[in-house]
Structure 1
Amino acid sequence: MANPLALAVLAWLLTEPMHPYELGRRLRRTGQDRYVKYSRGSLYMVVDQLRRAGFIAERETVRDTRRPERTVYTLTDAGRAEFHEWMRDLIGTPRQEYPQFGVALSLLGALAPEEVAALLRHRLLTLTTLAGELRAGARTAAEGGLSWPFPVEDEYRLAVLEAERRFVARLVDTLSAGGLPAEQA
């Protein structure tokens, strides 16, 4: 499996059995939905894929008079092993990722340098705003007593944003001085 949503489902089922609606609620409540893209339909599809793979199993079906029937899933031994192996691989082994911005950078020559510089200036402002929001969130979390490992994904996101911000600022400077991106090496 290579689906981050599947990894998140396995992680939550490590804590306790639950139904997909509750899984989605926890992703939203903890802010993990900022890092794991999903919809209600994709969540149910991933749960079914994990079930068919033998990583999770139906534990029970519960019926509340106010709600429709809900199937509660539990992690299997195979699912626990898959989760741990997957996490060890993701944390320990760097991979080439394919961010959309990298694609756009590889095609920069399709736009005029002046337009690229203007678009990058806008991106730079947005990156600066996002970094400020993450710093404010980290301060709030720390003041609220939230400790590691919960904000670590935000620390990583901030480091990536700051690196991108520095890169974009240098690229804007190069373009503004009349240079081309290939000349900054």
Structure 2
Amino acid sequence: MSAPAPRSSPLALTVLSLLHYRPLHPYGMQRLIKEWGKDQVVNVGQRTSIHRTVERLVAAGLVEVHEVERDEQYAERTVYRITEEGRRVAREWLLDMLGTPKPEYPQFPVALSFALMLTPEEALTVLDGRAAALARTVDALDARLADEDDDGLGRVIWLETEYQRAMAAAELRWLTAVTDDLRAGRLRWSWEELTGLAGPGAG
């Protein structure tokens, strides 16, 4: 009896989506993720993360062994394929991820919520650095969108890159407004004033 379907995750959906096209071994999955630029939206920094994800999907009956490749030049490799249940769950996850906004808890808003621990001058310095990095990101994404060949598949295969570009550009506009206010003195604070406002016993 298969285990309950695992919780959806970007990597689990990516694995199921790759196997939707053809059977693959984990190394092949990682290679395609990088070749197709999906490593820009899915964290595959650790090779073992793909193996662990595949193991969970196998236990849930969403993926199964297709064959075991044996070659004198390479270590034995297990090739996996998606099951019909895996196709159903992948579609369910995809519809949910596309249609339902969910909190994602990125690091930057957390850091912003405690920016008052820095002086305005320190905040300006680090935010200027972030803005410069974002400007480089926007330029790189623009270049990628301009140069990449769509292999005849059209705009749909670059939607995630368009989204990344839009999000980076929007953050850059917001950061520029904030750093302008910091530079002009329109945004100021001091730790002493803030702790005083917190009242006695807050420290």
2:117 corresponds, among 100, 110, 114, to 110
The aligned residue for residue 104 of structure 2 is: 97
Aligned pairs for 1:65-144 (under 5 A) are 65-141=72-148
More deviation, 144-153/90-99: 144-153
- Over the aligned positions, Cα root-mean-square deviation in angstroms equals 1.7
1:6 corresponds, among 7, 12, 22, to 12
The answer to whether the Cα contact below 8 Å between 2:62 and 2:85 also exists between their aligned partners in 1 is: yes
TM-score normalised to structure 2 length: 0.85
- Give the CA deviation at 1:3: 2.1
Sequence identity percentage? 38
**For residues 62 and 99 of structure 2, what CA distance do their matches in structure 1 show?**
22
Instruction: Please tell me the residue identity of whatever aligns with 1:47.
Output: V
The answer to whether the Cα contact below 8 Å between 2:120 and 2:188 also exists between their aligned partners in 1 is: no
The aligned residue for residue 161 of structure 2 is: 154
User: Which structure would you say has the larger Rg?
Assistant: 2
**Structure 1 pair 10–3 and aligned structure 2 pair: CA distance change class (3 A):** same
**For residues 48 and 115 of structure 1, what CA distance do their matches in structure 2 show?**
46
- SS of the residue corresponding to residue 71 of structure 1 reads strand
Measured against aligned partners, the alpha-carbon deviations of 1:92-136 in whole angstroms (never above 9, x if no partner) come to 111122111111111110100111011111111111111011101
**Structure 1 pair 181–72 and aligned structure 2 pair: CA distance change class (3 A):** farther
**For residues 165 and 102 of structure 1, what CA distance do their matches in structure 2 show?**
14
The answer to whether the Cα contact below 8 Å between 1:57 and 1:74 also exists between their aligned partners in 2 is: yes
**Structure 1 pair 33–181 and aligned structure 2 pair: CA distance change class (3 A):** farther
**Structure 1 pair 92–68 and aligned structure 2 pair: CA distance change class (3 A):** same
The aligned residue for residue 36 of structure 2 is: 30
Instruction: Please tell me the residue identity of whatever aligns with 2:140.
Output: E
Instruction: Please tell me the residue identity of whatever aligns with 2:109.
Output: G
1:178 corresponds, among 185, 200, 203, to 185
**For residues 127 and 78 of structure 1, what CA distance do their matches in structure 2 show?**
41
The answer to whether the Cα contact below 8 Å between 1:171 and 1:181 also exists between their aligned partners in 2 is: no
**For residues 178 and 14 of structure 2, what CA distance do their matches in structure 1 show?**
36
TM-score normalised to structure 1 length: 0.93
Aligned pairs for 1:25-64 (under 5 A) are 25-38=31-44, 39-64=46-71
4+ residue runs of structure 1 moved beyond 3 angstroms? 142-146
**For residues 88 and 143 of structure 1, what CA distance do their matches in structure 2 show?**
24
- SS of the residue corresponding to residue 57 of structure 1 reads strand
**Structure 1 pair 142–77 and aligned structure 2 pair: CA distance change class (3 A):** closer
- SS of the residue corresponding to residue 18 of structure 1 reads coil
**For residues 87 and 36 of structure 1, what CA distance do their matches in structure 2 show?**
14
Q: Which runs of 5+ in 1 are unaligned?
A: none
